[in-house]
Structure 1
Amino acid sequence: MMKLFGAHAARATVLIRAFGVMMISCVWMVQAAQANDFKITEIIVDGNRRIETETIRSYTEIETPAVLAIGEVNDAVQRVRDSNLFETVTAEVQGNKLKVTVVEFPTVNEVVFEGNERLGEKQLSALVRSQSRRIYSVSQVRDDANAIAEAYANQGRIAASVEPRIIRRSDNRVDVIFEIAEGGVVEIERLSFVGNRTFSDRRLRRVLNTKQAGLLRIFVQRDTYVEDRVEFDKQVLTDFYNSRGYIDFQVQAVTSELSKTKDSFFLTFRVQEGQQFSFGKITTTSDLEDVDPGDFENAIKIEQGDIYSPALVENTITRMERQALELGLDFVRVEPRVTRNNEGLALDIDFNLSRGPRVFVERIDIAGNTTTLDRVIRRQFKVVEGDALNPREIRASAERIRALGFFASSNVTTREGSAPNQRIVEVSVTEKPTGNLKFGANYNSANGVGLVASFREENFLGRGQATSFGINTTTSTRGFNFGFKEPSLFNRDLSLSFGVDYRGTSKNNARYNTGSFEIDAALGFPVSESGFFTPKLFYETEELTDVTTSSAVITGEAAEGDRKTLGLGYTYSFDNRRTGLNPKSGMFLRLSQDFGLAGDARFVRTNVKLGGETYVRNEDFKVTAILEGGALSYAGGSSSRVTDRFFLGSGLFRGFAPGGLGPREVDTSNSINDALGGEYYAVARFETQFPIGLPEEYGIEFGAFFDAGSVWGLDSAHVGSGANQAPANTILYDEFTLRAVAGVSIFWNTPIGPLRFNFTDAVKTAEYDVEQNFDLTISASF
C-alpha cells in the first residue's frame, strides 16, 4: 500500500514540474512578443526635398501614438515605396520615434536621343513620356525604350535596339539618354499563299495591304513586316472571300520565316477556301400580328442564284428596317435566318420581322476630337437622343465616321445609361492631319512638261468642309482653280459647293489663244442608294484672241469678241461598282446638261458617260467598256465657237493628237488646215488589263484597247459665201465619219504616280487626220 502511494506521489510530482515549465515558457513568450512591439509617438522624415513631410507621413498610414509590431512597421515602409516617388526608402526605430529616410527620384534635366537617323527628334519626342523637369522613373524610361523600338519595328527594322542610360547631374538631376541602334530594314521578300485554288497568288496579293519588296522598295513602305498589318490582312482576306460566296473560308495560319541573312521575311498565308455558295430561296416572315411581310418584299433586291455576299444581306436588312420606320413601326428588328443546303451549295434566307428590345438612346458622348467639331461627328448618326436604339444603325454610323477620313482611329461603343432601357453611345476618335500641300511636275505628250502647285484641306477649321486650290501651267497652257464644299448643309444630307476655274492656252496645238473663266454654285443630294443629283447655277466667260490663221471660220468667231453667259445646269451620277449585287462587276453613269439662259449665247450643252467594268478568269483580267458622247445646241441667233466645240484628244480618243480628227477647214492654196471641233461626238472605248508574268511587286501590267467614234457637226452660220464664212468645199468631215484605233498599254504603278504607256495604230482614218502613235502620261509630286 505504501509502495502504491509512493508511485502515485512520484507521478504527481512529475506532472506538477511539467506544468510549471509550461507556465514559465508561456510567460517568457508573452514577454518576448511584447519586447518586439514598438510604441511610436512620432514619425520623423528625412531626405525629402520636393515632397512634403506630411505627405510622406500619410503614406505610412500610421496614426500616432501607436503600438506596432515589426511586421506593421515593414508594411508602413512598403506603402511609402509603393508611391513610386522615391528611389529608396528605409526606416529605423529610435526609442519612441520612427525615422523614415527617403531618397527622392531625381528630376529629368534633358532627354537625348543618340544614333537615330530614320526617325527625327520630333518623332521620337512624341513617343516618349519622359520629359525634362519631370520626375525620373525607371519603369517609365523602360516603357519609353519599348515604344521607340516598336516604332522602328513598324518601319520594318525589327532588329532595332534601344538602350536607356542616365548621367547624374548636380542638384539631384539626371540626363536620360536613349542609345539607338536602328539596324536594317527587314523586308518581305516573298508573299505567298497555300490552299488557294480559285484565285491566284497575284490576285490575292492585290487584296492585302502588306506588299512584297520589289524594284522600288526604297519608296514602298508596305513591304516591311508589321505584325498588326498582317492581322488586319487576315480579316481583309476573309472579307474578300466571304463577299464572293466562300462562307467557309478560313485563314488557318500565317507563317513568317526569317531568311538566313536576317534581312528579309518569307510570309505565307495558309488558307482553306471551301465551296462557293449562292442565294437560295429568299422569303420574308413576321412574328408580329400587326406587320404584313408583304409590305417589305419590295426592299429585297437579292434574287435566287446570285452569289452570296454578307454585304447584300446587311443592305437588305437596312432597307427593311428603314421601311419599318416609314410605316411608323418602332423597335422592329430584322433577323436573317439562314438555312444551309450543302447539296445545292445554296443558302436559303428568311428575313424574319420581330419586336426588338425597347431601348432608347440617352445621349451621344464624343471624346478625342481636338479640332473637329462635335457636330461633324454627331451628324454621321441617323439617331438622336431619345430615339430607339438600333445596333445596326450604330454600326453603320461608326462606318460613316471612319469613312470621313479625318481620324487615324475611331471607336463607337454603347453602355448602360441612367436606366436599364437607356444606352449611352460613346465615340472615341484620334485625329490625323487632313491637309495636303503639293508642289510637283507633270508631263503628257500633248502639252509637255508643266508645274503643279495644289493645296487641299478635307476638314477646314474642323467643320468637315473641304477646300482646295490649285495652279497648273505648261509652256502652252495655264490653269487655276478654287473649290469649297459644305457636305452637310443645315445638318442634312445636302451638300453645297462653290467653285472658280480659269483655263487659258497660248497657241496650244492651234494658231490662236483662248481663255475661259467659270464660277458656279451647286447643291447635291442623293436620290437613291447609288445615285446623286446636283443642280447648279453658273456664270462663264470665254475669249478667242491673237488669231494668226487665215481660217475664215476661226477669224469670224474671234471677231465676235468676248462671250458672257449666265445659266443653270445639273449633273446626275450613278455608280454601283462598290455597292452592286456582284462584287466582281459594276456600272456607272454620268449625265450633265448646262443651259445658257442669259447673256451673249443661248445653248444647251449635254454630256453623257456610261460605263461598266468586270473581272474575268478568276479576277486576273479586268474588262472595261465605256460609251461617251456630247451635243451642243445653240439658239437665239447665237452659234458655237471653236472655244465651245468638242475636241477629241488622247483622254477621250487614243491614237490621235488634240484636234487631230473631226471637222476641219482645209484650203491648201491659202495654207489653211485648222481643226474646228464639232458640236457632237460619240466614242466607244473597250479595254482589258491583265498581268504579263512579271513579279507582281514590280507593279507592271499589260493592257489592250480598241476605240471607235467620231466628232462632227458645224453650225451652218459658218459655211457660205458671206464675210467670215468658209466656202463649203473647204469644210471637211462635217458629217459623221468613223475612226477606229487599236493599241496596247503598259501600266506601271510607281510611288511617284501611275505611269501609262499607250502604243496605238489607227485602223480607220481619214485624210488630214493627225495621228499620235505613242502617248505617255506621268504625274509626280515632291
Structure 2
Amino acid sequence: MNSDLRRSKLRRSNSTIAILAFISTATAAPLSAQAAIVSDIRVVGAERVGPTAVKDNITIDPGKSFSDADIDQSIKQLYATGYFSDVHISVEGHSLVVSVHENNLINAVIFNGNKKIKDDKLAGLVKSKAAGPYSESQVQDDIKTIKDAYAAIGRNNVQVTPQVVNIAKNRVNLAFVINEGDRTTISKLTFSGNHAFSGGRLAAVISTKKSTFLSFLTRKDIYSETKKDADEDALRKFYYDHGFVDFRLVSDSATFNSATNSYDVSFIVDEGEKYRYGDISVTSTVQGIDADDLKSLVITRKGDTYNAEDIQKSIDAISKRIEAAGYPFAKVTPRGNRNPEGRSVSIEYIVDQGERAYVERIEIRGNTRTRDYVIRREFDLNEGDAFNEQMIARAKRRLDALGYFTSVKISTRPGSAPDRVVIVVDVEDQPTGSFGIGGGYAVGVNGGPLLEASVEEKNFLGRGQYIKVAAGASTSGSQTYTLSFTEPYFLGERLAAGFDLFKSVTTSSDYYDYGEEGISLRITAPITEDLSTTLRYTYKQITYTGESDWQDNLSAPYQNLINNGPWTQSSVSQTFTYNTLDDQNLPRDGFIAKVTQEVAGLGGDSNYYKLSGKARYYHTLSDSQDIVGSVTLGAGYMTSTNNQDLNIFDQFMIGGSEIRGFEDAGIGPRTSDGDPLGGTKYFTASVETSMPTPGMPQDLGFRSSVFLDAGTLYGNDADLYGDVLHDGSALRASAGIGLTWASPFGTINLSYAVPFLKQDYDKVENFRFGFGNQF
C-alpha cells in the first residue's frame, strides 16, 4: 500500500509565492513562508461519502491560515476514516482542492471452513463489515484477530486466506477462508530448581495444564503468551504466600514441536530460603491518623510464616479505615527489613499522604465476550474519583475471583494532565459454561442406578449472570428437576438476587413416595469482603402418595401424611456466611461458616423456628506433599411457634450427607416400622485428611482422603398418633476412605464408610456417590 503512504505536497501558484514572499520580507518572519489562506475548499472524487464528510475530517477552514502540518494532519484523518485508498491535497489559486479515491464498499463478509468458531462470533471480532469500506490493511488486521481467536482455543497453526470478489461497480464480497488445522497440545510440563514443593504441586498452581484424554473438555492445555504471563504471576504469588521472599522465576520456555503439533513447557525456579515475620509496626505521617489505632487491623504476627496475602489483607483493612476517616489520597506502603541470618522479615506499615491524582478514565481491553460494565462494576471508583492504588488491587482480586478470565492485568498510564491517571484493564475471556453428567448407585431396598445431567453457565451472554438447569432420575422412580438463576448486581448494586425452581419425587419405602415442588427467592448482600448475608423466601408443596392397598402397612404418622395432604410450607430465612477460603474449589487453608435462622408460618401448614449452622476449617499439614486437614462442626435446634406439634417434614433429618456410612435420613427417631421421623436437635462433627492420589498425575485432579464422622439427632416433637418411637440421643460414628475428582463435569465425590457406633434401627449405606460441591 505505497499509495496509502504517498502524500502530495502543496503546489503554490506564482502569484501565491509572490504574496508569501512579500509577507516574508515585510515581517521578517522566516516561518511565515509556510502559511497560506484559501477562500474555499473543493472536493473531488467523493461520490458516495459526499463533500461534507470530507470537509468535516480536515483541519483546514476557509479564511484561516494553515501550514504543511495542517495538510499532513488532514491527510492522516481522511485515511483514518477507512473510506479512501488515496488522498491528495493541493492549492489551486484561492481554492484548496481535496482529491480522494474511494475504497470499494463491502457487500458481504463470509467465513468458510470454520467449524470450531461459529460465524456470528467471528463476525463480532473482525472490523471489516458489510456496507463498510474495504481496506487491505484492515483485512490484515482481521486475519491476525481471527488467528488470535483460534490460538485461544488451542489451534495455533490455523491458516486464514482472504478472497475478494468484485460483484458490481465499487462493491465486493469479502471471504475469509479458514483452515483450522489440528488442535495444539502440551506434551510436557516440567519444573526444575524446586525443592520445597513437588512439580505436581506447582502444576496445580498454574492454569496451563499438560494434555490428557479429557483436555478436549477442559481446554486447559492451551498455550498462550497471555496465559504464560498469568502463570508466572501465580507462581510468584504462591511462593510469596508460603514464606519464600527471595523466590525468582529464572526462566520459562515453550518449545513447539511441529511434528507432534505440541508444546514442551518448562519453568526454572530459584526458591530461596523460607522466612518468618519479625517485628510488626505501623507508622503514620498523616496528621489526624493515629498509628496506634490501626495496629488492631494488622493480621500479620511475629513468628508466623511470611505470607504476602496476609500483608495485602492488612493493607486493605488499614486503607478502608483511613478512607472512611476522610483521607482519600492517603496510601499504605509495607516496608520490609530482611534478616538473612534469622530468616525473618520485619514489616512496617507506613501511612503517608499520596499524590493527589484523579481517575481520568477506565479502559477495558481484550474482552471479546464479557461486557464492559461487568468489569467496570468490580471497581469501587469511577472516572473523576480520587485515584487509590488499594482500590485497584481490590478490583483485581474481584475480577480474578469471577472465573470469567484466563488472565487479568491492570496497569496505569499518565492522563491528559499531571494529576490525571488512566486505568487500563487487559483481560482474556475463557469458557464459563459446562455440561455435566453424573451417575451412581444407591444401595438398599429401593436402590438402583442414578443419573443426573446439568447445564451451567457462570457468565450468561457475557452479562455476568449465573444460570443452571439440572435433572436427575433413578430406576427406583425418584426424579429431580431444578432451575436456578442469579443476577450478581441487582438494581445496579452489589446485591446477588435470584430464584430457584425445584421439583422432586423420592421413593422412600415400598409403600409411599415423597414429593416437593416450589420456588425460592433470594438476595445476598456483602457486609465485608469475607462476610455476607442472604435473605430467602421459600414456598413449597409437599405430597405423600401411596397405593390404597399398601396404606395398612404404613405407620400411623405416615398414614396421616398421605390422607391429609398435600401440605404447604411458607418460610423466610436469613443466612450469614463467613468465607476466608483460599480456593473455593479445592481449599487448602481458610475457614467457612454458615448460620441460618428460619421462620415458617407465613401461611401454609408449618409453624416453627429453626436455627442451624455449619463451620469448616482447612489447614495445610504438609506443603511439600500437599496434605490438607479439615475439621467440620454442625448443629441445629428448632421449636414450634404455635404451641402445637410439628409436622414430620418440618423437623431435621440427617444421615449419610452428614455422617457417611448411613442412608439419607438414616439416623435418629423412627417408627416401629423403621420410617424416619426427624428430630428437633442435632450435632455433627468430622475430621478429614486429603492428599493427591498416589500413582495418579496431580494434573488430573484426583485426591484421596481418610475421615471420621460422628453425630446424633434426637428430640422428636411431631404428633405420632401413639406410634412407637426410638428417640435416643446415642452417638453415631463412622470411619472410611474417600476419593474426590475435580472432573470437567464438576467435583465428584466417592466414599466408603463403616459405622462403628450405631443403633439397631439405623439405616446403613456404606458406599456413597456425590456430584458437585457440597458444604
TM-score, normalised via structure 1 length: 0.75
2:756 to 763, 769, 781: 763
**Aligned letter for 1:591?**
V
Matched, 1:608 2:613: yes
Cα distance in 1, alignment partners of residues 523 and 317 from structure 2: 25
Q: Which moved more, 1:45-54 or 1:673-682?
A: 45-54
Q: How many angstroms does 1:637 deviate by?
A: 3.8
Whether the 8 Å contact between 1:155 and 1:226 is mirrored in structure 2 is no
Task: State the Cα deviation string for residues 425-473 of structure 1 (Å, max 9, x = none).
Answer: 65768897999697977656368545657777868996x7777776666
Q: How many angstroms does 1:112 deviate by?
A: 4.2
**Any idea what SS the aligned residue of 2:243 has?**
coil
**Aligned letter for 2:505?**
T
Q: How many angstroms does 1:270 deviate by?
A: 0.7
Q: How does 1:365-376 map to 2 (within 5 A)?
A: none
Matched, 1:653 2:659: yes
Cα distance in 2, alignment partners of residues 59 and 564 from structure 1: 70
**Aligned letter for 1:578?**
D
**Aligned letter for 2:594?**
R
**Any idea what SS the aligned residue of 1:675 has?**
coil
Whether the 8 Å contact between 2:190 and 2:265 is mirrored in structure 1 is yes
Cα distance in 1, alignment partners of residues 392 and 425 from structure 2: 14
Whether the 8 Å contact between 2:83 and 2:102 is mirrored in structure 1 is yes
**Any idea what SS the aligned residue of 1:664 has?**
coil
Q: Counterpart in 1 of 2:94?
A: none
Instruction: Evaluate the alpha carbon distance shift between residue 541 and residue 82 of structure 1 in structure 2; reply closer, same or farther with a 3 A threshold.
Output: closer
Q: How many angstroms does 1:490 deviate by?
A: 7.8
Q: Counterpart in 1 of 2:739?
A: 746
Instruction: Evaluate the alpha carbon distance shift between residue 155 and residue 461 of structure 1 in structure 2; reply closer, same or farther with a 3 A threshold.
Output: closer
**Aligned letter for 1:551?**
S
Q: How many angstroms does 1:58 deviate by?
A: 13
**Aligned letter for 1:710?**
T
Q: Counterpart in 2 of 1:674?
A: 675
Cα distance in 1, alignment partners of residues 708 and 115 from structure 2: 51
Q: How does 1:521-536 map to 2 (within 5 A)?
A: 524-527=524-527, 529-534=529-534
**Any idea what SS the aligned residue of 1:651 has?**
coil
Q: How does 1:688-767 map to 2 (within 5 A)?
A: 688-691=689-692, 692-715=694-717, 718=720, 724-727=721-724, 731-732=725-726, 734-767=727-760
**Any idea what SS the aligned residue of 1:199 has?**
coil
Instruction: Evaluate the alpha carbon distance shift between residue 53 and residue 679 of structure 1 in structure 2; reply closer, same or farther with a 3 A threshold.
Output: closer
**Any idea what SS the aligned residue of 1:143 has?**
helix
Q: CA RMSD in A?
A: 5.3
Rg (Cα) greater in structure: 1
Q: How does 1:561-600 map to 2 (within 5 A)?
A: 561=565, 569-578=573-582, 584-596=588-600, 600=605
Cα distance in 2, alignment partners of residues 384 and 773 from structure 1: 56
**Any idea what SS the aligned residue of 1:702 has?**
strand
Cα distance in 2, alignment partners of residues 226 and 614 from structure 1: 33
Whether the 8 Å contact between 1:481 and 1:499 is mirrored in structure 2 is no
Q: Counterpart in 2 of 1:147?
A: 145
Cα distance in 2, alignment partners of residues 745 and 145 from structure 1: 50
Q: How does 1:90-169 map to 2 (within 5 A)?
A: 106-168=104-166
Whether the 8 Å contact between 1:601 and 1:639 is mirrored in structure 2 is no
Whether the 8 Å contact between 1:709 and 1:738 is mirrored in structure 2 is yes
Q: Counterpart in 2 of 1:393?
A: 391
Instruction: Evaluate the alpha carbon distance shift between residue 227 and residue 293 of structure 1 in structure 2; reply closer, same or farther with a 3 A threshold.
Output: closer
Q: How many angstroms does 1:260 deviate by?
A: 7.2
Q: Counterpart in 1 of 2:766?
A: 773
Cα distance in 2, alignment partners of residues 643 and 339 from structure 1: 62
**Aligned letter for 1:590?**
K
Cα distance in 2, alignment partners of residues 394 and 120 from structure 1: 35
Instruction: Evaluate the alpha carbon distance shift between residue 709 and residue 163 of structure 1 in structure 2; reply closer, same or farther with a 3 A threshold.
Output: same
**Any idea what SS the aligned residue of 1:647 has?**
coil
Q: How many angstroms does 1:627 deviate by?
A: 1.9
Task: State the Cα deviation string for residues 185-236 of structure 1 (Å, max 9, x = none).
Answer: 2211111101111111111111111110112233231213222211221111
Q: Which moved more, 1:465-474 or 1:259-268?
A: 465-474
Cα distance in 2, alignment partners of residues 387 and 639 from structure 1: 59
Matched, 1:617 2:618: no
Q: Counterpart in 2 of 1:31?
A: none
Whether the 8 Å contact between 1:193 and 1:269 is mirrored in structure 2 is yes
Matched, 1:243 2:241: yes
2:668 to 662, 667, 670: 662
**Aligned letter for 1:605?**
K
**Any idea what SS the aligned residue of 1:152 has?**
helix
Q: Counterpart in 1 of 2:512?
A: 512
Q: How does 1:59-74 map to 2 (within 5 A)?
A: none
**Any idea what SS the aligned residue of 1:302 has?**
coil
Matched, 1:633 2:639: yes
Cα distance in 1, alignment partners of residues 49 and 680 from structure 2: 86
Q: Counterpart in 1 of 2:264?
A: 266
Q: How many angstroms does 1:360 deviate by?
A: 5.5
Instruction: Evaluate the alpha carbon distance shift between residue 250 and residue 516 of structure 1 in structure 2; reply closer, same or farther with a 3 A threshold.
Output: same
Cα distance in 1, alignment partners of residues 178 and 370 from structure 2: 36
Cα distance in 1, alignment partners of residues 125 and 372 from structure 2: 27
Instruction: Evaluate the alpha carbon distance shift between residue 558 and residue 335 of structure 1 in structure 2; reply closer, same or farther with a 3 A threshold.
Output: same
Instruction: Evaluate the alpha carbon distance shift between residue 249 and residue 318 of structure 1 in structure 2; reply closer, same or farther with a 3 A threshold.
Output: same
Q: Counterpart in 1 of 2:9?
A: none
Q: How many angstroms does 1:575 deviate by?
A: 1.9
**Any idea what SS the aligned residue of 2:759 has?**
coil
Q: Which moved more, 1:602-611 or 1:163-172?
A: 163-172
Q: How many angstroms does 1:307 deviate by?
A: 1.7
Whether the 8 Å contact between 1:441 and 1:779 is mirrored in structure 2 is no
**Unmatched segments (≥5 aa) in structure 1:** 1-36, 63-74, 92-98, 667-671, 719-723
Cα distance in 2, alignment partners of residues 152 and 259 from structure 1: 18
Instruction: Evaluate the alpha carbon distance shift between residue 103 and residue 312 of structure 1 in structure 2; reply closer, same or farther with a 3 A threshold.
Output: closer
TM-score, normalised via structure 2 length: 0.76
Q: Counterpart in 2 of 1:15?
A: none
**Any idea what SS the aligned residue of 1:162 has?**
strand
Q: Which moved more, 1:297-306 or 1:406-415?
A: 406-415
Whether the 8 Å contact between 1:513 and 1:545 is mirrored in structure 2 is yes
Whether the 8 Å contact between 1:212 and 1:697 is mirrored in structure 2 is yes
**Any idea what SS the aligned residue of 2:675 has?**
strand
Cα distance in 2, alignment partners of residues 358 and 566 from structure 1: 54
Instruction: Evaluate the alpha carbon distance shift between residue 118 and residue 579 of structure 1 in structure 2; reply closer, same or farther with a 3 A threshold.
Output: closer
Cα distance in 1, alignment partners of residues 628 and 644 from structure 2: 45
Whether the 8 Å contact between 1:628 and 1:684 is mirrored in structure 2 is yes
Cα distance in 2, alignment partners of residues 238 and 460 from structure 1: 33
Q: Which moved more, 1:325-334 or 1:195-204?
A: 325-334
**Any idea what SS the aligned residue of 1:279 has?**
strand
Q: How many angstroms does 1:179 deviate by?
A: 3.8
Whether the 8 Å contact between 2:735 and 2:754 is mirrored in structure 1 is yes
Q: How many angstroms does 1:306 deviate by?
A: 1.6
Q: Counterpart in 2 of 1:96?
A: none
**Aligned letter for 1:323?**
R
Cα distance in 2, alignment partners of residues 486 and 301 from structure 1: 33
**Aligned letter for 1:576?**
T
**Any idea what SS the aligned residue of 1:577 has?**
coil
